[in-house]
Amino acid sequence: MTRFWLGGYGPAMDGSADGIGLLAGDESAPTALEYRGAVTQTPSPSWLAQHPTLDVVYAALEGDAAVQAFARSGESDLRPLGDPVEAGDGVCHVAVSSSGSFLIASCYGDGRVVRIGIDGQGRLVPDAANTAAELRAALLGEPIEASAPAGVAAAASDPHPGERTAAGEERVSHAHSAAFLADGRIATTDLGFDLVRIWRPTGGALVLDHEVVLPAGTGPRHMVVHPSGHLHIVTEYSCEVFTLAAGPDGTWAVVSSVLASPIAEIGVDFPAELVRSRDGQFLYTALRGSNTIAALRVRGQGETLESIALVDSGVDWPRHHLVHEGKLLVAGQRSDTVALLDLDERTGAPLGIRHTAQVPTPTHFLPAR
């Protein structure tokens, strides 16, 4: 049976999801996916990540500024594995290291990038600084005050001083995603400051290695690490995909950029996720606004891209999508639906909508292994 865990927005974030949901198809009709209900009672688990070796799923609790672990119990159930751990305001993305020893949480609201440890059973390791503060407060009979998690990385600074947002407001940091690079370093995006930051995990902390500054107002959101070693980044505000490469000294830099689609309308279309086909020949991004899927072909050694197609996504406000067994699964945040699109194996272009299903405010798919 084909199964996916579903992240979603609950009532506190203007959604109707009850928790992590289950989307599944029968063996006789694996592409006819249907919503099977919530498997946890978790408020707004907007992004999910799988432990590399354990049956443990991690959820960004976006409205609660925390991350929580869930262990699989049975084929279609998840149960809390420990308490939620503080991350930061508007935590919207989590990425787990290949070793399974820690994860990186990105927080849109306050710009935090946070390293949270994971123990051998998959539990999130409590913040040592907060634990010590709580113990001291308990011994002295003082009120407990929340402190920043010990794993909070250095805050970003705006590399474009004097710039303002499109609405004329002061720019603020908005961390949005993280990706693990082949050499063990970590890339994170800051959508508010137009930055890609490269980190070295050292002990229990993240040490800033260097930064790649994108043009002002681009808004780097999500990333794909290509098999060639290149890093592709989609920008929410300028509707572009930037390609970065590491030089001989390990310093990353932009080597090319392309519009997600020649007819994307800046200020109307806002790209969301960026994913690649299994063989790395094609990339797909979703344009919220026109509610379309843009397909791009990877050229050369992975350093250049070209737009090849733009099609209807089949949903309203396509917040997340993934390639699964030669098809594209798309989550429509505002339509409360998911759509399954066929893909042309030869050209990479989406061919049309095969199936749709009603789902409460979906924001993320995670294959249930």
Query: Per-residue pLDDT tens for 187-197?
Result: 999 999 999 99
Name which of 297, 335, 298 is nearest 313 in CA terms.
335
- Answer yes or no: is 55 within a domain: yes
Query: Would you mind telling me the total number of residues written for the chain in this entry?
Result: 369
CA neighbor of 226 nearest in space, from 174, 285, 277, 280: 280
Mean pLDDT of 268-275: 98
**71 forms bridges with which residues in the sheet?**
56, 79
What does the pLDDT read at residue 131? 42
* Domain total of the chain: 1
Q: Is residue 292 part of a domain?
A: no
Cβ of 193: how many Cβ atoms within 10 Å? 25
Share of the chain above pLDDT 90, in %: 88
Sheet holding 327-332, edge to edge: 318-324, 327-332, 337-343, 350-358
Answer whether residue 146 shows pLDDT above 70: no
Give CA separation, 140 vs 128, 136, 207, in Å: 18, 6, 34
Does residue 222 fall inside a structural domain?
Answer: yes
What pLDDT does 329 receive?
97
Q: What is the mean pLDDT of residues 219-242?
A: 98
Determine phi and psi for 64, rounding to 5 degrees. -110, 5
Distance between CA atoms of residues 106 and 111, nearest Å: 7
In a domain, 38, yes or no: yes
Spatial CB neighbours of 48, under 8 Å, sequence gap ≥ 6: 5, 7, 20, 57, 58, 59, 60, 94, 364, 366
Give 317's Cβ-side CA count (13 Å radius).
Answer: 8
pLDDT in tens, 105-136: 999 999 999 999 999 999 999 755 444 443 34
What pLDDT score was predicted for residue 29? Answer: 65
21 token code pair: 């949901």
Residue 278 placed within a domain: no
pLDDT at 143 over 50: no
DSSP 100: S
Residue 348 forms part of a structural domain: no
pLDDT of residue 138: 39
Q: How far apart are CA 163 and CA 346, in angstroms?
A: 44
* pLDDT over threshold 50, residue 166: yes
Domain holding 100, by residue range, is: 3-139+150-161+169-269
End-to-end C-alpha distance for the chain, whole angstroms: 10
State the chain's mean pLDDT as an integer.
Answer: 93
What CATH code is carried by the domain that includes residue 72?
A: 2.130.10.10
Give the strand pairing for 175-180 and 195-202.
unpaired
CA angle 118, 188, 167 (to 5 degrees): 130
**pLDDT recorded at residue 331:** 98
Backbone angles phi, psi at 265, to 5 degrees: -105, 110
pLDDT tens-place string over residues 17-34: 999 999 998 766 667 899
Token output for 231: 């890093």
The lowest-confidence range among 27-31, 101-105, 202-206, 309-313 is 27-31
Would you state the pLDDT for residue 128? 54
pLDDT at 339 over 70: yes
State the Cα torsion 293-176-56-38 to the nearest 10°. -60
User: What's the mean pLDDT in 275-302?
Assistant: 97
**Cβ(192)–Cβ(167) below 8 Å:** no
Position 149 scores a pLDDT of 63
Q: CB neighbours (10 Å) of residue 43?
A: 22
Question: What is the Cα Rg of the chain in Å?
Answer: 20
- Whether 328 is covered by a domain: the verdict is no
The pLDDT tens digits of the residues spanning 75-86 come to 889 999 999 999
Flag whether 85 is in a domain.
yes
